[in-house]
Amino acid sequence: MTDSNNNNNDMPQFPFFPNREQIRSFKRNIPVSVYDFYIVDEIKEPDAYLEMIQTLKSADPQDTIFIYLNTPGGNLYTTVQIMAAMTNSHAKVITCMEGQVCSAGTFIFLKGDAKLVNPHSTFMIHNYSQATSGKGNEIVSHINYMRQYFDKLAADVYKEFLSEEEINAVVYGNDLWMDSHEVVRRLDLYKHDYAYTGLDLDAKDEISVEVDPRGTMANPKPKKKRTTRKKKVATKKE
């Protein structure tokens, strides 16, 4: 007979901790910035917004820029420059509806990567206003150009917020007035990234949209959700 214990010496040895190279880790600290800008008056000449425009252009992808709007509108070309900076920004741009957001202010609001709607706000869309002067042929030429220009601009900005019929109505001079609920309804209908501060944190998933085929406005109705609360019993350890 042979001793089975002696055979253990012939078996290969497997160490409990394999001898392998250590995986090295490196840590990077990336600064994150949050910027707040307020447009709370008539939109004026571009030089009043250069700091905001430069921030939009130079911000990093991890940054967030909030633009709070409470404006009756204003300079169209200033608005176009702000919109271009928002579109080209690497940061996440969040536009916030507070008070009134009218005319050119609606362009800026709808260009946000995400939208924040506060209750009891007013949203108004209409055609542009303009004063011009010069020789008769120059006035006619300028008016014809601006009409075509605004038609294309309105179609681009409002295409995921208004129906085609509503855009045509705005181009031909109709004013569209909306409250916060109507704005939320349309943002939800066209799948925008948004939040509404007038409801719970999960309100976006709870909004039931009712679409009138005639295109008339209807407020969103939150679904009633049954919730049950579990009581927590605290026990003391002795």
What is the pTM for the complete model shown? 0.74
Percent of the chain with pLDDT over 70: 74
* Domains identified in the chain, total number: 1
Does residue 89 sit within a domain? yes
In sequence order, the β-bridge partners of residue 67 are 37, 95
**pLDDT score at 218:** 37
pLDDT of residue 131: 78
Q: How far apart are CA 87 and CA 48, in angstroms?
A: 19
Q: Is 9 within a domain?
A: no
Burial of 65 (0-12, 13-18, 19+ CB in 10 A): buried
CA atoms of 224 and 206, how far apart (whole Å): 8
C-alpha span between 88 and 78 (Å, rounded): 16
Residue 235 lies in a domain: no
Nearest to 161 by CA among 117, 111, 97: 111
Counting every residue, how long is the chain?
Answer: 238
Question: What b/e sequence results for 189-200 when a residue is b if at least 16 CB atoms lie within 10 Å of its CB, and e otherwise?
Answer: beebebbbeebe
State how far the alpha carbon of 178 is from the alpha carbons of 172, 189, 219, in Å.
18, 15, 10
Specify if 14 maps to a domain.
Answer: no
Establish if 117 belongs to a structural domain: yes
> CATH number for the domain including 106?
3.90.226.10
Average pLDDT, the chain: 82
The verdict on residue 232 lying in a domain is no
Q: Provide the pLDDT for residue 134.
A: 84
The answer on pLDDT for 148 being more than 80 is yes
Residue 213 confidence class, pLDDT cut points 50, 70, 90: very low
Query: For the segment 154-203, what is each residue's pLDDT rounded down to a tens digit?
Result: 999 999 999 999 999 999 999 999 999 999 999 999 999 999 988 543 44
Q: How confident is the model at residue 219 (pLDDT cuts 50, 70, 90)?
A: very low
Q: Which domain holds residue 201?
A: 31-129+174-222
User: CA nearest 30: which of 9, 6, 8, 61?
Assistant: 61
The span from the CA of 97 to the CA of 120, in Å, is: 10
> Per-residue pLDDT averaged across 122-129, rounded?
94
Over range 47-57, report the average pLDDT.
98
Q: Is residue 141 part of a domain?
A: no
Among 223, 215, 153, 156, CA closest to 189: 215
| pLDDT tens-digit map of 3-29 | 555 555 565 555 555 556 778 888 889
| pLDDT at residue number 18 | 58
In a domain, 207, yes or no: yes
